[in-house]
Amino acid sequence: MNRVVSTLVSATFATLALAGAASLAAPDTPARKTPTPKPSVDPLAGPLSERIKGKKGAGDVELNLLWGSRDARVYGAGVGICENTYQIPVSHEEVVALLQAVQAARFGAMPNRFGGQNEEEEREREKEGERHGGDNPQLKGRLVLRLGPVSKSVMQLLGNEQSAELETLANRILKTCDGAAKTGVSAASLSDGLSKLASGKLSPFAFDALLQRRETRSGGNDTAENWILRLQGRDAVSRMMPAGKAPDAPKRLTLSDKQFQDLIGVLSSNDVEALPPSVFSAQYTDLRVRVLNHERVVSGRRFGGEKAEAPGARQQSFDRIFEGFRTVHRDVQAAGKTGTGPVEVRSERESDEEREKEEEREKERERERAKPATTPSPVRP
């Protein structure tokens, strides 16, 4: 028995020795390298480079950032709006530096969302009726970039995957607003802000407004006005909203300096800030005017404010302000163009996902077409 065990042990050592010698004699086999994944395409790389290198002007650039409790808007025309309270000058060099930071972060290749819940969790929330979007309490931040005819929006929600690159980029943009409280232009009130818009101390970028005119109920009244007008600075978008029908395509117009100043003059001379929250109006009319962090919201209703038979001074002021906005609305409808808004850019991954969904929908349509037509049962006497 001992002889057998000894023989087996000797054979095992011999086998190991031969294997070791063979391995020493064999040439080294290089380890197989995992190929580096090809970087995703950044559709904004070209437009960014054109503006960084000066091949195109930066006047159509807008960075709109909300991050935590802070916000900043930077315009390529040389204006920054910080915390929606202060306007600062932004040099061309700083605009270029911000675009370089956007380019380095490959913002254009990012998905439109980081973090948040997975699809199953989101479906559960939807079942519970919880709201999503801009007022989502899980929103950590959002950056929107506009470069002329294209735009890109990326949000970061709390939880799960986070993007360090997006947060670094957000902090770089916020740095532009350092010291804004000391050096920036602010407004003491809405009236003061309108006065500074008229004098040029504030840029049109500090102004936005909305007026919506609609029927009290849908249907039938061809003489009623149904439209909505939005203004962000001198950019005006007007849309007809006929009752009981699909809305018309929105029209967009950049107001001339005279058109813009005429509207500011109407708002100032009629003291929009002094208007009460509710006034009389034959049709529902909702008005919002904002300059920096000062805002006035007014609702026109049949049951609101003073009677139409004996209008007071404030009622007349509201009517004149409405006519000012209606003039702009008509100008946009007459001279504005449709389909001129920025086109949202998607990341490569999102484009692939959308293509896969469309292919699946096409396969489903093919399956539906391949189904044999059902023959109606014969009618028996």
What is the predicted pLDDT for the residue at 303? Answer: 73
Q: Using CA atoms, how far apart are residues 120 and 124, in angstroms rounded to an integer?
A: 6
| 301 contacts: CB under 8 Å, gap ≥ 6 | 278, 279, 280, 281, 284
Q: What is the pTM of this model?
A: 0.75
User: Do residues 237 and 316 share a domain?
Assistant: yes
Most confident of 25-29, 50-54, 217-221, 248-252: 50-54
Q: How far is CA 250 from the centre of its chain?
A: 17
Tokens of 101: 């930071």
Which residue is it, tokens 């929908």?
A: 361
User: Do residues 171 and 209 share a domain?
Assistant: no
DSSP 201: S
Please check whether residue 98 lies inside any domain of the structure.
Answer: yes
Asked whether the predicted pLDDT for residue 324 surpasses 60, the reply is yes
What is the predicted pLDDT for the residue at 17? Answer: 45
User: How confident is residue 308, by pLDDT bands cut at 50, 70 and 90?
Assistant: very low
Q: Using CA atoms, how far apart are residues 349 and 351, in angstroms rounded to an integer?
A: 5
CB-facing half-sphere around the CA of 313: CA atoms within 13 A: 5
CA distances from 84 to 59, 72, 186, 191, 248 (A): 20, 7, 9, 16, 32
Tokens of 255: 């107001």
User: Do residues 218 and 333 share a domain?
Assistant: yes
What is the predicted pLDDT for the residue at 91? Answer: 97
Q: Give which of 216, 324, 316 is closest to 266, Cα–Cα.
A: 324
Q: Convert the pLDDT of each residue in 89-139 to its tens digit.
A: 999 999 999 999 999 999 999 999 999 876 555 555 544 444 344 456 689
What are the residues facing 113 on neighbouring strands? 155
User: Do residues 178 and 297 share a domain?
Assistant: no
Tokens of 85: 């309270």
**Least confident range of 47-61, 162-176, 299-313, 350-364:** 350-364
Q: Using CA atoms, how far apart are residues 301 and 291, in angstroms rounded to an integer?
A: 25
What is the predicted pLDDT for the residue at 21? Answer: 44
Please check whether residue 238 lies inside any domain of the structure.
Answer: yes
Q: Using CA atoms, how far apart are residues 33 and 93, in angstroms rounded to an integer?
A: 43
Mean pLDDT across 78-89: 98
Q: Convert the pLDDT of each residue in 160-208 to its tens digit.
A: 889 999 999 999 999 999 999 999 999 999 999 999 999 999 999 999 9
What is the predicted pLDDT for the residue at 307? Answer: 53
What is the predicted pLDDT for the residue at 48? Answer: 95
Asked whether the predicted pLDDT for residue 52 surpasses 70, the reply is yes
Q: Are strands 150-157 and 343-344 parallel, antiparallel or unpaired?
A: parallel
User: Do residues 175 and 65 share a domain?
Assistant: yes
Q: Tell which wins on pLDDT, 154 or 341.
A: 154
Q: Give which of 262, 232, 244 is closest to 328, Cα–Cα.
A: 262
Please check whether residue 368 lies inside any domain of the structure.
Answer: no
User: Do residues 294 and 322 share a domain?
Assistant: yes
Asked whether the predicted pLDDT for residue 53 surpasses 70, the reply is yes
What is the predicted pLDDT for the residue at 281? Answer: 86
Q: Tell which wins on pLDDT, 283 or 291.
A: 291
User: Do residues 140 and 236 share a domain?
Assistant: no
Are 205 and 233 within 8 A, CB to CB? yes
User: How confident is residue 214, by pLDDT bands cut at 50, 70 and 90?
Assistant: confident
What is the predicted pLDDT for the residue at 351? Answer: 52
What are the residues facing 65 on neighbouring strands? 72, 143
Please check whether residue 215 lies inside any domain of the structure.
Answer: yes
User: Do residues 99 and 238 share a domain?
Assistant: no
User: Do residues 322 and 283 share a domain?
Assistant: yes
| Of 164, 183, 202, the domain-final residue | 183
Most confident of 38-52, 182-196, 270-284, 332-346: 182-196
Asked whether the predicted pLDDT for residue 381 surpasses 50, the reply is no
Please check whether residue 291 lies inside any domain of the structure.
Answer: yes
Instruction: Give the whole-number percent of the chain exceeding pLDDT 90.
Output: 58
Most confident of 34-48, 178-192, 311-325: 178-192
Q: Give the chain's domain count.
A: 2
User: Do residues 158 and 208 share a domain?
Assistant: no
Please check whether residue 309 lies inside any domain of the structure.
Answer: yes
Q: Using CA atoms, how far apart are residues 367 and 355, in angstroms rounded to an integer?
A: 18
What is the predicted pLDDT for the residue at 204? Answer: 98
Mean pLDDT across 141-161: 93
Please check whether residue 282 lies inside any domain of the structure.
Answer: yes
Asked whether the predicted pLDDT for residue 301 surpasses 90, the reply is no
Q: Using CA atoms, how far apart are residues 84 and 232, in angstroms rounded to an integer?
A: 13
Asked whether the predicted pLDDT for residue 289 surpasses 80, the reply is yes
Angle of the 190-199 helix axis to the 257-269 helix axis, nearest 10: 150
User: How confident is residue 354, by pLDDT bands cut at 50, 70 and 90?
Assistant: low
Tokens of 229: 């007008």
Task: Count CB-CB contacts under 10 A for residue 354.
Answer: 11
User: Do residues 159 and 194 share a domain?
Assistant: no
The domain in which residue 206 lies consists of 190-338
Task: Give the three-state DSSP class for 239.
Answer: strand
Task: Give the three-state DSSP class for 147.
Answer: strand
In the predicted model, what is the mean pLDDT of the chain? 82
User: Do residues 53 and 158 share a domain?
Assistant: yes
Which residue type does 8 have? L
What is the predicted pLDDT for the residue at 89? Answer: 97
Please check whether residue 207 lies inside any domain of the structure.
Answer: yes
- Give Dmax over CA atoms of the chain in angstroms: 126
Q: What CATH number does the domain containing 196 carry?
A: 3.30.1560
